């Protein structure tokens, strides 16, 4: 047969292939152009955008045969000038968070700028309409693209930001600051990147800082686990490859060898970029990387009668098919270990995403063939579809202890009496849907045999959590150090990467077959498997006196936690404890129940249960305000918590409490908007895990080669905590950025600093980093060490553990301390005549604002996420089977965004810890949804009790 | 600065048949309607639009007796280029370039933006993200990319 070949140009080089396949696969697998990200392979997300003959094109859609004769450019093929323009523009604009969408955004922008050198915002929005960003809310990406265009036109300069101590950001990057006296936005400055780090020390706490991960994310050379290909594992007898990859000179190479950096098991970083690993050295006998993937259940509830795997196992290139029998302990689970690694023959599935067996093969192509060859015989059973079915008499038991997964009862005062005596009562039943995190990077892990155990290169929210779960599966709970978990770049999480998904199966396969194994979820698999935001059915009753002063709350909160518990307990608890809102009243009776069903599991999601209960509470406050005859702003202000008052859970609101300040900050916008087109909502959210759990922050600073290295196993899922840690050290020590480095951290070299959850890293780990930095500073002062003589401290290690005990739920103390801090917020949503959301004024009290640029990025992204929750996002299930694809989830795209105005509220009175920072990650996604619902209530007087809210400008589009 | 985005005329027929009752009949009314000489009729139709000259005024669309011309924002580069409303077999027999309502586009669309309505593929511009998946999957080459990347234009 005559072979057909396809020839085209990639980044200026003519390439020929005989394979007909999506260009995405050719660029990544054959040319190793890893800037071209694989976010969905369905054409929906835009992370794989490249430029073809001047047009932005999704490379997962275009195939090699259709690309013949075309000129293809990826980020790697941009000119040096373009690269620098995008790095600078995106860094100073704060466009980069998790970074997974960014190379695609850059290429969409390049196609636009080449065609239209001076694009309007509207043109930019339309140019990136095919590119989803889940972190930023697009605002800063649009600004970044506008600035990159200005630089490429020659109208703006790339300034040496490391030397820059004036106002770095043009006024268009505005956010409104309502701040205390110790804050001066004029003193902004930045960190350029590791290659271009100047001597300025203007990057301490409170400065607008260029994040440390901008360059590698914009240019696409930073590694997410999926960017680890077979070539990542270099045999120890090929040091020449390592040298070339690292870019070492002969002398540097010799030095590395002398330091033992070429030994088996070592991970080598890119020269001058300690956070970019380029290879791991393995034994020359180690076989190349294999691929594994699970065959998953077709039925939400069915008995697995037989697994016919022989045909798959006999295919050439298949290493084996693992089943439950091959797992030492067939259970995992973040808190409750109720999640079967694989469903064994004779057992019953609990959801459609359940793994039945695990196929391991030499290549992704063979893997797909083998998965199809596995035939599973089922006996389908009627699934448990809803909370009502789960708690019905005689309902099938999904887990052996029944369908009630978790319950909480929070009582203070006498709610029944308070409600009976209230002048006005508002009551309603609310339903909120499951929500998909839709992070841009699907789950992926690469594991390989390491020492007497396994090393897992992961993308998750807590390296030690993953280690613990994998240890349970392997039966290594007493020898957890045999497992090393090392997070790579993390392409978004939002709570959806707290549970293990790919890590444990890749580790299992790596140990079984003694070689590196990659496990990667397809987008469809990701949608089915990882836990969602809980769907809620709840009834809320709240009462106030004739002046609108709240008296009491009674509520029933029922969560559908799907097939597995995941984080049902803590999420349900947070929903209950926060259902009262940030107000000053003390009669509450809150009953929370979480039920197992055969739906996909629910667990952590930014907002952690509070999005659900605050939507209900804030909606009812508007009803009460109407009954009392005061404005929605007024009822909130009259009841707002203040420092020294008792929160509804009995905790005394601390000095940093700034709810009233956030209300005052948005008042002008609320008053200016037409009365029937504006809505308002407040929120509170804990920072730190709290409730009596041992939530510790730990950090280790090591002085090496005259530099300070920060080690802490705290996942930066895009929120920017690594940059915050550098700022903390800079603030404590006055050292310049050139001296403060973050290395690759893992469970072997860095202390456990808990999960990226509960808005805790900036506060809890931030305090630990600060503590360690103060120890370093003390040593420097004692020994007269300056930034130039840090060498004198070489080899010294400074460790700090921060732990502030809290009281457990139901503590009998009069004023239990549930959480170390609370953040507060008020959002105002404004509609136009058609009901379209035009503006959201979003005021947040996060204590000390460590990096204002990052904080407004968090706000804009969180608010847009909340707006999706309010108006467009759905997760439809058909008899427990999810029917949505990534592109039909209802995620907002750039052309449809409102103007989100981030308002930072920073008081003079701050907490002592972490320079007063309280964290802002989760609260950003809570108040916008009820504010928008409130605006619609003002518009037509209809109380909307389900999400997404019905009969809106946005529901017309469906 | 506000820039006006000009729409462009788009012809929903690729030609290829004289027996199709839905397609271009080569009457030339669009050519006469255009003030800018942006439309040419070659080989009896369908018309070819000079996208550089077209300003999206819509006169041609109003003139077409077959209602084949639409003015569309140039961002929407992926378009269905057939107006045949016959069921699959009849459509296949009517023209080599016809939509046979097979539904492959609908099944592969990531955004739920294209649907077979009245035996032909119709794109909902409110949902379309112009990824071109339908153009790549269409077995009849009916869905085209006016940028000339996913298909010749």
A-chain residue closest to B130, CA distance: A130
Whether B12 is covered by a domain: the verdict is yes
Q: Taking CB atoms and an 8 Å limit, are A66 and B136 in contact across chains? A: yes
Whether B135 is covered by a domain: the verdict is yes
- Give the pLDDT confidence score for residue A176 in this predicted structure: 53
Residue-wise pLDDT tens digits, B84-117: 999 888 899 889 899 999 999 999 999 999 999 9
What backbone torsions phi and psi does residue A29 show, to the nearest 5 degrees?
Answer: -80, -35
CB A507 within 8 A of CB A484: no
> Do A714 and A631 belong to one domain?
no
Q: Which residues of A touch B151 (CB under 8 A)?
A: 66
Q: Which residues of B touch A58 (CB under 8 A)?
A: 131-132
Tokens 């930014």 sit on residue: A606
Check CB contact of B139 with chain A, cutoff 8 Å: no
List all residues 6 or more positions away from A798 whose beta carbon is below 8 Å from its beta carbon: A700, A701, A702, A772, A773, A775, A776, A779
Neighbours of A64 (CB within 10 A): 23
Name the H helices within chain B: 29-33, 59-63, 88-94, 104-108, 133-137
Check CB contact of B146 with chain A, cutoff 8 Å: no
Whether A208 is covered by a domain: the verdict is no
**Angle, in degrees to the nearest 10, between helices A659-672 and A632-639:** 170
Q: Which residues of B touch A57 (CB under 8 A)?
A: 132, 149-150
Whether A218 is covered by a domain: the verdict is no
Given A140, A169, A198, which residue is the final one in a domain?
A169
Whether A55 is covered by a domain: the verdict is yes
Paired with A183 in beta bridges are: none
Check CB contact of B3 with chain A, cutoff 8 Å: yes
- Tell me the two tokens of residue A364: 């992704």
Check CB contact of B127 with chain A, cutoff 8 Å: yes
CA-based nearest distance B123→chain A, Å: 14
Q: Which residues of A touch B130 (CB under 8 A)?
A: 129-130
CATH of the domain at A19: 1.10.150.120
> Do A709 and A783 belong to one domain?
yes
Whether B70 is covered by a domain: the verdict is yes
CATH of the domain at B83: 3.30.70.20
DSSP string, A53-97: TTEEEETTTSBTGGGTT-EEE-GGGS-HHHHHHHHHHHHHHT--S
Q: Which residues of B touch A957 (CB under 8 A)?
A: 126-127
Q: Which residues of A touch B147 (CB under 8 A)?
A: 53, 55
- Give the pLDDT confidence score for residue A198 in this predicted structure: 35
Given A477, A492, A520, which residue is the final one in a domain?
A520
Task: Identify the helix (H) or strand (E) that includes residue A450.
Answer: strand A444-450
Check CB contact of B132 with chain A, cutoff 8 Å: yes
Burial A275-291 (b: 16+ CB within 10 A, else e): bbbbbbbbeeebeebbb
Give the span between the Cα atoms of A218 and A86, in whole angstroms. Answer: 7
Nearest to A134, CA basis, from A687, A857, A714: A857
Whether B2 is covered by a domain: the verdict is no
B140 to A515, A767, A854, B70: CA distances (angstroms): 46, 63, 49, 21
Q: Taking CB atoms and an 8 Å limit, are A55 and B77 in contact across chains? A: yes
Sign of CA dihedral A382, A384, A386, A388: positive
> Do A861 and A936 belong to one domain?
yes
Q: Which residues of A touch B132 (CB under 8 A)?
A: 43, 57-58, 61-62
- DSSP code for A762: I
Residue A921 sits at the vertex; the CA angle it makes with A501 and A677, to the nearest 5 degrees, is 115
Whether B1 is covered by a domain: the verdict is no
Q: Taking CB atoms and an 8 Å limit, are A66 and B1 in contact across chains? A: no
Neighbours of A155 (CB within 10 A): 11
Paired with A847 in beta bridges are: A917
Q: Taking CB atoms and an 8 Å limit, are B112 and A888 in contact across chains? A: yes
Measure CA A39 to chain center. 15
Q: Taking CB atoms and an 8 Å limit, are B129 and A885 in contact across chains? A: no
Whether A110 is covered by a domain: the verdict is yes
Q: Taking CB atoms and an 8 Å limit, are B133 and A888 in contact across chains? A: no
Check CB contact of B6 with chain A, cutoff 8 Å: no
> Which of A42, A126, A957 lies nearest to residue B110, judging by beta carbons?
A42
Whether A205 is covered by a domain: the verdict is no
CATH of the domain at A363: 3.90.1170.50
Q: Which residues of A touch B146 (CB under 8 A)?
A: none
Domain that holds residue B85: 8-145
Q: Report helix, strand or coil for A763.
A: helix
B-chain residue closest to A40, CA distance: B110
Whether B40 is covered by a domain: the verdict is yes
B-chain residue closest to A57, CA distance: B131
Domain that holds residue A269: 230-282
Give the span between the Cα atoms of B9 and A949, in whole angstroms. Answer: 38
Q: Taking CB atoms and an 8 Å limit, are B131 and A44 in contact across chains? A: yes
Q: Taking CB atoms and an 8 Å limit, are B132 and A893 in contact across chains? A: no
Judged by phi (left if over 0) then psi (alpha if -120 to 50, else beta), residue B35 lies in alpha
**Number of Cβ pairs < 8 A linking chain A and chain B:** 70
Neighbours of A744 (CB within 10 A): 17
Q: Taking CB atoms and an 8 Å limit, are A888 and B126 in contact across chains? A: no
Give the span between the Cα atoms of A34 and A226, in whole angstroms. Answer: 9
Domain count for chain B: 1
Paired with A553 in beta bridges are: A542, A588
Whether B124 is covered by a domain: the verdict is yes
DSSP string, A229-253: -GGGEEETT-HHHHHHHHT--HHHH
User: Residues of A at the B interface (Cβ-Cβ below 8 Å)?
Assistant: 40, 42-44, 46, 52-53, 55, 57-58, 61-63, 66, 70, 120, 122-123, 126-127, 129-130, 885-888, 893, 957
> Do A620 and A701 belong to one domain?
no
Given A169, A185, A208, which residue is the final one in a domain?
A169
Sign of CA dihedral A194, A198, A203, A207: negative
Whether B75 is covered by a domain: the verdict is yes
B-chain residue closest to A119, CA distance: B3
> Do A909 and A937 belong to one domain?
yes
Give the span between the Cα atoms of A238 and A281, in whole angstroms. Answer: 9
> Do A673 and A710 belong to one domain?
no
B-chain residue closest to A888, CA distance: B111
Pairing of strands A532-533, A602-603: parallel
Tokens 């700022």 sit on residue: A727
- Tell me the two tokens of residue A242: 């390592």
Whether A202 is covered by a domain: the verdict is no
> Do A558 and A669 belong to one domain?
yes
Whether A191 is covered by a domain: the verdict is no
Q: Which residues of B touch A127 (CB under 8 A)?
A: 75
Q: Which residues of B touch A126 (CB under 8 A)?
A: 75
Q: Which residues of A touch B133 (CB under 8 A)?
A: 42-43, 61
- Tell me the two tokens of residue A505: 């199966």
Q: Taking CB atoms and an 8 Å limit, are A129 and B75 in contact across chains? A: yes
Q: Taking CB atoms and an 8 Å limit, are B110 and A888 in contact across chains? A: yes
> Do A325 and A453 belong to one domain?
yes
- Give the pLDDT confidence score for residue A270 in this predicted structure: 80
Measure CA A701 to chain center. 26
CB A480 within 8 A of CB A265: no
Nearest to A524, CA basis, from A41, A891, A13: A41
| Strand spans (E) along A667-718 | 678-687, 697-704, 707-711
- Give the pLDDT confidence score for residue A289 in this predicted structure: 97
Whether A190 is covered by a domain: the verdict is no
Domain count for chain A: 5
- Write out residues in chain A with pLDDT < 70, as ranges: 1-2, 160-202, 956-958
> Which of B2, B129, B136 lies nearest to residue A129, judging by beta carbons?
B129
Q: Which residues of chain B from 15 to 74 reach within 8 Å of chain A, CB to CB?
A: none
List, as own/partner pairs, every contact residues A119-128 make where C-beta atoms lie below 8 angstroms and the sequence separation is at least 24, other chains included.
A119/A145, A119/A146, A119/A149, A120/B1, A120/B2, A120/B3, A121/A146, A122/A895, A122/B3, A122/B5, A123/B3, A123/B5, A124/A894, A125/A894, A125/A895, A125/A897, A126/A894, A126/A895, A126/B75, A127/A56, A127/B75, A128/A46, A128/A894
Tokens 């456990």 sit on residue: A752
CATH of the domain at A751: 3.30.365.10
CB B147 within 8 A of CB B77: yes
CB A426 within 8 A of CB A623: yes
Q: Report helix, strand or coil for A411.
A: strand
Give the distance between the most distant pair of CA atoms in chain B: 52
Residue A223 sits at the vertex; the CA angle it makes with A318 and A275, to the nearest 5 degrees, is 135
Q: Which residues of B touch A61 (CB under 8 A)?
A: 131-133, 136, 150
Judged by phi (left if over 0) then psi (alpha if -120 to 50, else beta), residue A672 lies in alpha
pLDDT above 60 (res B8): yes
What backbone torsions phi and psi does residue A851 show, to the nearest 5 degrees?
Answer: -130, 95
> Do A256 and A367 belong to one domain?
no
> Do A477 and A349 belong to one domain?
yes
């Amino acid at each position: 047969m005559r072979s057909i070949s396809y020839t085209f140009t990639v980044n200026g080089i003519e390439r020929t292939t005989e394979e007909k396949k999506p260009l995405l696969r050719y660029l990544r697998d054959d040319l190793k152009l890893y800037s071209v990200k694989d976010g969905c392979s369905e054409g929906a997300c835009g992370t794989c955008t490249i430029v073809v003959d001047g047009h932005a094109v999704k490379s997962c859609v275009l195939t090699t045969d259709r690309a013949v004769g075309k000129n293809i450019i990826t980020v790697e093929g941009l000119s040096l000038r373009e690269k620098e323009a995008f790095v600078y523009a995106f860094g100073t604009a704060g466009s980069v968070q998790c970074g997974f969408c960014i190379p695609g955004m850059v290429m969409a922008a390049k196609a636009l700028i080449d065609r239209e050198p001076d694009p309007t915002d509207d043109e930019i929005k339309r140019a990136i309409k095919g590119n989803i960003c889940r972190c930023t809310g697009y605002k800063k990406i649009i600004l970044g693209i506008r600035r990159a265009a200005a630089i490429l036109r020659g109208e703006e300069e790339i300034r040496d930001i490391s030397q820059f101590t004036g106002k770095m950001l043009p006024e268009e990057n505005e956010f409104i600051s309502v701040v205390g006296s110790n804050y001066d936005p004029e003193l902004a400055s930045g960190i350029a990147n590791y290659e271009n780090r100047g001597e300025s020390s203007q990057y301490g706490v409170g400065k607008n800082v260029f994040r440390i991960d901008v360059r590698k994310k914009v240019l696409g050379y930073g590694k997410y686990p999926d960017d680890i290909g077979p070539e990542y594992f270099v045999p120890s007898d090929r040091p020449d490859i390592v040298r070339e990859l690292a870019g070492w000179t002969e002398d540097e190479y010799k030095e590395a060898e002398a330091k033992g950096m070429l030994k088996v098991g070592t991970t080598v970083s890119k020269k001058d970029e300690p956070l970019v690993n380029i290879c791991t050295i393995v034994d020359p006998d180690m076989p190349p990387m294999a691929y594994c993937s699970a065959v998953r259940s077709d039925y939400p509830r069915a008995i697995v009668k037989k697994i016919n795997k022989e045909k798959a196992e006999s295919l050439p290139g298949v290493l084996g098919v693992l089943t439950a029998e091959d797992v030492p302990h067939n259970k995992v689970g973040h808190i409750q270990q109720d999640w079967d690694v694989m469903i064994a023959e004779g057992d019953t599935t609990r959801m459609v995403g359940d793994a039945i067996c695990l196929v391991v093969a030499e290549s992704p192509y063979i893997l797909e063939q083998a998965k199809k060859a596995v035939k599973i015989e089922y006996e389908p059973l009627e699934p448990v579809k809803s909370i009502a079915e789960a708690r019905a008499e005689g309902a099938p038991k999904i887990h052996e202890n029944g369908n009630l997964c978790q319950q909480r009862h929070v009582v203070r005062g006498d709610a029944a009496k308070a409600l009976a005596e209230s002048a006005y009562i508002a009551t309603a039943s609310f339903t909120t849907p499951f929500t998909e995190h839709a992070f841009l990077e699907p789950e992926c892990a690469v594991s390989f045999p390491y020492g007497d155990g396994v090393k897992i290169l992961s993308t998750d929210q807590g390296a030690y959590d993953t280690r613990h779960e994998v240890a349970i599966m392997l039966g290594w709970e007493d020898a957890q150090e045999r497992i090393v978990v090392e997070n790579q770049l993390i392409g978004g999480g939002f709570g959806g990467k707290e549970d293990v998904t790919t890590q444990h199966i890749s580790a299992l396969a790596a140990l079984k077959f003694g070689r590196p194994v990659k496990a990667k979820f397809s987008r469809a698999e990701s949608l089915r498997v990882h836990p969602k935001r809980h769907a809620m059915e709840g009834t809320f009753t709240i009462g106030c006196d004739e002046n609108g002063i709240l008296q009491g709350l009674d509520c029933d909160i029922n969560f559908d936690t799907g097939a597995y518990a995941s984080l049902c307990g803590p999420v349900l608890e947070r929903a209950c404890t926060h259902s009262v809102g940030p107000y000053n009243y003390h009669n509450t009776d809150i009953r929370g129940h979480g039920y197992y069903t055969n739906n996909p599991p629910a667990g952590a999601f930014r907002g952690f249960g509070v999005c659900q209960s605050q939507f209900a509470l804030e909606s009812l406050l508007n009803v009460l305000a109407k009954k009392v005859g005061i404005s929605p702003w007024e009822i909130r202000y009259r009841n707002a918590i203040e420092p020294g008052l008792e929160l509804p859970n009995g905790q005394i609101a601390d000095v940093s409490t700034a709810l009233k300040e956030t209300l005052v900050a948005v008042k002008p916008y609320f008053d200016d908007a037409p009365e029937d087109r504006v809505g308002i909502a407040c929120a509170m959210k804990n920072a730190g895990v709290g409730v009596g759990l041992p939530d510790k922050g730990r950090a280790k600073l090591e002085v090496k080669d005259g530099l300070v290295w920060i080690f802490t196993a705290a996942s930066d899922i895009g929120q920017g905590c690594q940059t915050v840690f550098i700022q903390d050290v800079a603030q404590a020590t006055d050292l310049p950025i050139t001296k403060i480095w973050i290395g690759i951290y893992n469970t072997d070299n860095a202390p456990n600093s808990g999960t990226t959850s509960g808005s805790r890293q900036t506060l809890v780990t931030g305090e630990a980093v600060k503590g360690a930095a103060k120890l370093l500073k003390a040593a420097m002062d004692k020994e007269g060490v300056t930034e130039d003589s840090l060498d004198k401290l070489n080899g010294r290690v400074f460790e700090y553990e921060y732990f502030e005990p809290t009281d457990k739920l139901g503590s009998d103390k009069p004023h239990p301390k549930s959480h170390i801090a609370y953040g507060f917020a008020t959002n105002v949503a404004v509609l136009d005549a058609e009901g379209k959301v035009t503006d959201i004024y979003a005021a947040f009290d996060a204590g000390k604002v460590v990096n204002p640029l990052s904080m407004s990025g968090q706000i804009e992204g969180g608010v847009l996420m909340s707006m999706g929750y309010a108006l467009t996002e759905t997760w439809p299930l058909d008899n427990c089977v999810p029917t949505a694809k990534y592109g039909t989830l209802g995620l907002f795209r750039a052309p449809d965004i409102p103007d989100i105005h981030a308002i930072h509220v920073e008081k003079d009175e701050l907490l002592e810890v972490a320079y007063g920072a309280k964290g802002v990650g989760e609260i950003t996604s809570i108040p916008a949804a009820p504010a928008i619902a409130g605006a619609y209530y003002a518009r037509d007087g209809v109380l909307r009790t389900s999400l997404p809210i019905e009969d809106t400008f946005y529901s017309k589009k469906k | 600065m506000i820039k006006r985005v000009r729409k462009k005329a788009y012809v929903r027929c690729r030609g290829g048949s004289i027996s199709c009752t839905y397609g271009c009949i080569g009457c030339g009314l669009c050519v006469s309607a255009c003030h800018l000489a942006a439309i040419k009729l070659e080989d009896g139709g369908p018309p070819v639009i000079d996208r550089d000259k077209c300003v999206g005024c819509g006169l041609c669309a109003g003139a077409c007796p077959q209602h084949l011309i639409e003015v569309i924002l140039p961002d929407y580069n992926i378009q269905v280029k057939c107006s045949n409303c016959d069921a699959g077999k009849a459509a296949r027999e009517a023209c080599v370039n016809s939509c046979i309502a097979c539904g492959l586009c609908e099944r592969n669309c990531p955004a739920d933006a294209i649907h077979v309505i009245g035996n032909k593929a119709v794109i909902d511009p409110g949902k379309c993200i112009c990824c071109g998946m339908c153009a790549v999957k269409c077995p009849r080459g009916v869905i085209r990319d006016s940028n000339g990347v996913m298909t010749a234009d």
